[in-house]
């Protein structure tokens, strides 16, 4: 993956500086910018993918990961400002959905800016309390078992003790950031929210996703796709086809 933005927070899988619309993508807990490396293959050439690379993973492995979502937003917001010089949309999966949501609210508070659309996937609406017990501070053996259950970490990583020791701080920090997130009420966002979920996701059900409608004063759409929590991988072509169609009105307004 290329990072031609000269900003360690942004990775551009396929740089396209003439594209009139930017899609900022925020990964799930434990994920990095590589999650979105193939997305440009499925999207119109008028959309440029900006995959967000958080500290502590992939090309930023040696950096200290964030453990607080509010602290992350206070740093991430300013470093992305220079890239918001044209129309943009946000997409976030799981923890990334909370990042996109809170970043949109931060931009509204400080700069009266707003994404054209907020896409959220695999995440309960922010006002719905987390009911699962925390896993970020479990002993290594139990932590490893939880990762196997979640199915978000490749088996070859789980069976590599040296690699697990290397990425454990990042994984623990991400899960702590997700579990300790505290929603603070604000007026609904003025942009449309489009939510995606997995039909076999037992933790983030349709009812939990439907709660996102409370956080927009514009339109709300909910789409359920085949797959579990990581349907964005197993149903990737279908989801991106839908996402591309959702972007058509935004791109049409730019002509």
Dihedral sign of CA atoms 31, 37, 40, 46 in order: positive
The verdict on whether 94 is a catalytic residue reads yes
Burial class (CB in 10 A: 0-12, 13-18, 19+), 205: middle
- Rounded-to-5 percentages of helix, strand, coil across the chain: 45, 15, 40
Active-site residue among 94, 98, 178, 235? 94
Here the tokens at position 206 are 């349709």
Rounded to a whole number, what is the largest CA-CA distance in the chain? Answer: 55
How far is residue 251 from each of residues 41, 43, 59, 118, 235, measured CA to CA in Å? 17, 12, 32, 15, 24
Cβ contact 55:75 at 8 Å = no
Positions annotated as catalytic residues are 94
């Amino acid at each position: 993956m290329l990072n031609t933005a000269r900003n360690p927070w942004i990775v551009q899988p396929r740089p396209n500086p003439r594209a009139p619309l930017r899609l900022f993508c925020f990964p799930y807990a434990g994920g990095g910018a590589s999650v979105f490396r193939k997305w440009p293959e499925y999207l119109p050439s008028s959309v440029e993918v900006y995959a967000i690379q958080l500290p502590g993973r992939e090309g930023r492995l040696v950096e200290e990961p964030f453990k607080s979502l509010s602290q992350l937003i206070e740093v991430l917001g300013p470093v992305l400002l220079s890239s918001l010089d044209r129309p943009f949309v946000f997409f976030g999966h799981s923890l990334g959905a909370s990042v996109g949501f809170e970043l949109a609210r931060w931009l509204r508070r400080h700069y009266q800016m707003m994404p054209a659309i907020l896409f959220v996937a695999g995440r309960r609406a922010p006002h719905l309390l987390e009911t699962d017990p925390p896993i970020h501070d479990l002993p290594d053996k139990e932590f490893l078992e939880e990762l196997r259950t979640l199915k978000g970490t490749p088996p070859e990583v789980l069976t590599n003790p040296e690699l697990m020791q290397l990425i454990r701080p990042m994984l623990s920090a991400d899960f702590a950031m997700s579990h300790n997130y505290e929603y603070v009420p604000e007026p609904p966002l003025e942009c449309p929210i489009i939510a995606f979920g997995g039909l076999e996701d037992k933790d983030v059900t349709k009812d939990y996703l439907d709660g996102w409608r409370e956080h927009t004063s514009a339109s709300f759409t909910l789409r359920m796709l085949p797959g579990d929590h990581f349907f964005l991988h197993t149903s990737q072509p279908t989801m991106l086809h839908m996402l591309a169609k959702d972007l058509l009105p935004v791109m049409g307004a730019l002509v």
